[in-house]
Structure 1
Amino acid sequence: MPFLDLQSNLPASSFHEEFLKKLCSFAAGVLGKPDDRMNLMVKPGLPMWIAGSGSPCVVLSISAIGVTDTADKNKEHSAKLFGFLTKELPLTEDRIVLQFHNLEPHQVGKKGTVMSFL
């Protein structure tokens, strides 16, 4: 049950429904998770500063169980996600930052319990 939290100073109009669907589907493939398990939150129009500049930028946080737990995995995920984001948004790699967070099953609640029991 991956969580994608995309924060950006780009306007909300940059994140139309088709983009959201494509991002979820692409990230699901990258992480090896089913599309219907993806959770996405987009926070556009934020005051942001990356690498000494307030130019358009994105920070994408990826939290998941068991697929973001090593440098080697995250290096592969990073390359693919950077490719997607630079293709779909008017940004270069230096205006994108990814954060990977490994979750344990007991840290994710669903259906009145936690993933450890599902």
Structure 2
Amino acid sequence: MPFIDLETNLPASRFSEDFLKKLCSTTAAVLGKPEDRMNLVVKAGLPMLIAGSCSPCVMLSVSAIGVTDTAEKNKEHSANIFQFLTGELGLTEDRIVLRFYALEAHQVGKKATVMSFL
């Protein structure tokens, strides 16, 4: 049950429903998770600075159970997600930052319980 949070200073008009669906399917494939378990939010038009510049940029966080817990996994995830974001948004790699968070099943609630019991 991954959570994808994209924060950007790009305008909301850049993030159509089609983009959201592509981001969902891409990150699901990258993480090896079914699309129907993905949770995604885009926060656009934010005041942001990366590497001393307010030029267009993106910070994307990936929180997931069992697939973001090693450097080797995250290196591969990073390469694939960067490829998608640079291609779709026209940003250079230096304007994108990713953060990976490893979740435990007891930290995610669903259906009035936690994932440990589902």
Separation of aligned partners in 2, 1:44 and 1:90: 16
Counterpart of 2:93 in structure 1 is 93
SS at match of 2:13: helix
The answer on 1:61 being equivalent to 2:61 is yes
Instruction: Look up the match of 1:15.
Output: 15
Q: Which sections of structure 1, spanning at least 5 residues, go unmatched?
A: none
> Identity across aligned pairs (percent)?
77
Specify the alignment match of 1:48 in structure 2.
Answer: 48
- Give me the TM-score of the superposition, normalised by structure 2: 0.99
What is the distance in 2 between the residues matched to 1:85 and 1:11?
Answer: 15
Counterpart AA for 2:40: L
CA distance in 2, matches of 1:15, 1:7: 11
RMSD of the alignment, in Å? 0.3
Compute the displacement of 1:40 (Å). 0.3
Structure 1 residue ranges, 4+ long, deviating more than 2 angstroms after superposition: none
**SS of the residue aligned with 1:45?**
coil
1:88 and 1:41 mapped to 2: Cα distance?
Answer: 17
Opposite residue 46 of structure 2, the aligned amino acid is L
Q: State the 1:90 CA deviation.
A: 2.1
Aligned residues: 118
Unaligned runs of 5+ in 2: none
* Whole-angstrom CA distance in 2 between matches of 1:58 and 1:88: 12
Structure-1 separation of matches of 2:90 and 2:53 = 16
Corresponding residue SS for 1:19: helix
Q: TM-score, normalised by structure 1?
A: 0.99
